[in-house]
Amino acid sequence: MGFNIAIDGPAGAGKSTIAKRAAKELSFIYVDTGAMYRTITLGLMRRGVDIEDVQALERSLADIEVTIDYRDGAQQVYLNGENVSGLIRTEEVSARTSACAAKPQVRAKLTDLQRELAGRQNVLMDGRDIGTAILPDAQLKIYLTASVQTRAQRRYKELVERGESCSLEEIAKDIEERDYRDMHRETAPLMQAEDAVLVDSSDMTIEEVTARIVELARERLQA
Ligand code: DC
């Protein structure tokens, strides 16, 4: 079995940026599980599936295949063989993924793939339920969070830099709603595993958080 690092936490805490950097420093494979949920969501959107219709959902899921590989060290996701790594980053896919990811049938489809990836090699996997449900025996678990205000400000800055108009209050409200949905769903809700190290990035730079995770990983690798 590989050495497994699980990083969970709410949207906007800086998980993917930090996870990517820490994985690189440690020479671990970075697995972005959010991208897999986004890919299934895109597949369901393209088929026009009403996800509340269980039969239609299950029928469509049987036809959706998610695979990943790496190009220049960056994870690529494929929907039935098509590279959709760019297409899954739209606002529409982001907004719909939370509801799709709450469906147990959707989660069940990705569990084996995620465990299989972690079994083969040293991985740093980020998501919402990695330390609690997918890799309960991970050697290091991090729960990375930040205040709603901080996360909203970061997102606001990103959108302004992209030239998009937005309101800080709206963004904060969206973040709160998404947190609520992710934390209160029945299947694998977002929560801190008992043995996870809590890292609050509100007053930390990306470099500081990355260094903290790398330090924790090196301590455990040596133990
Ligand atoms: O991390 P992200 O923003 O790419 O995640 C997209 C959505 O997928 C988000 O609503 C939470 C959900 N998700 C999940 O339920 N479980 C995971 N392991 C990863 C993401």
pLDDT digits (tens, 9 = 90+) for 67-116: 999 998 899 999 999 999 999 999 899 889 989 999 999 999 999 999 99
Q: What is the mean pLDDT of residues 168-172?
A: 94
In a domain, 69, yes or no: no
In a domain, 45, yes or no: no
In a domain, 63, yes or no: no
In a domain, 187, yes or no: yes
In a domain, 174, yes or no: yes
In a domain, 71, yes or no: no
* Atom 2, ligand 1: residue with shortest CA distance: 34
CATH number of the domain that residue 102 is part of? 3.40.50.300
pLDDT number for residue 11: 87
Give the atom of ligand 1 at the shortest distance from the alpha carbon of 15: 1
What's the structural domain count of the chain? 1
CA nearest neighbour of 60 among 80, 77, 87: 80
- What are the pLDDT digits (tens) for 127-140? 999 999 999 999 99
Give the range of the structural domain holding residue 145, as residue numbers without chain letter. 4-32+90-222
Distance 223 CA to ligand 1 centre (A): 31
Cβ atoms of 202 and 150 closer than 8 Å:
yes
The model's pTM: 0.93
* Atom 8, ligand 1: residue with shortest CA distance: 34
With a Cβ cut-off of 6 Å, ligand 1 is lined by 11, 33-34, 37-38, 97-98, 101, 127-129, 178, 182
In a domain, 102, yes or no: yes
Secondary structure in 3-state letters for the chain: CCCEEEEECCCCCCHHHHHHHHHHHHCCEEEEHHHHHHHHHHHHHHCCCCCCCHHHHHHHHHHCCEEEEEECCEEEEEECCEECCCHHHCHHHHHHHHHHHCCHHHHHHHHHHHHHHHHHCCEEEEECCHHHHHCCCCCEEEEEECCHHHHHHHHHHHHHHCCCCCCHHHHHHHHHHHHHHHHHCCCCCCCCCCCCEEEECCCCCHHHHHHHHHHHHHHHHHC
* Atom 16, ligand 1: residue with shortest CA distance: 128
* Atom 17, ligand 1: residue with shortest CA distance: 127
In a domain, 131, yes or no: yes
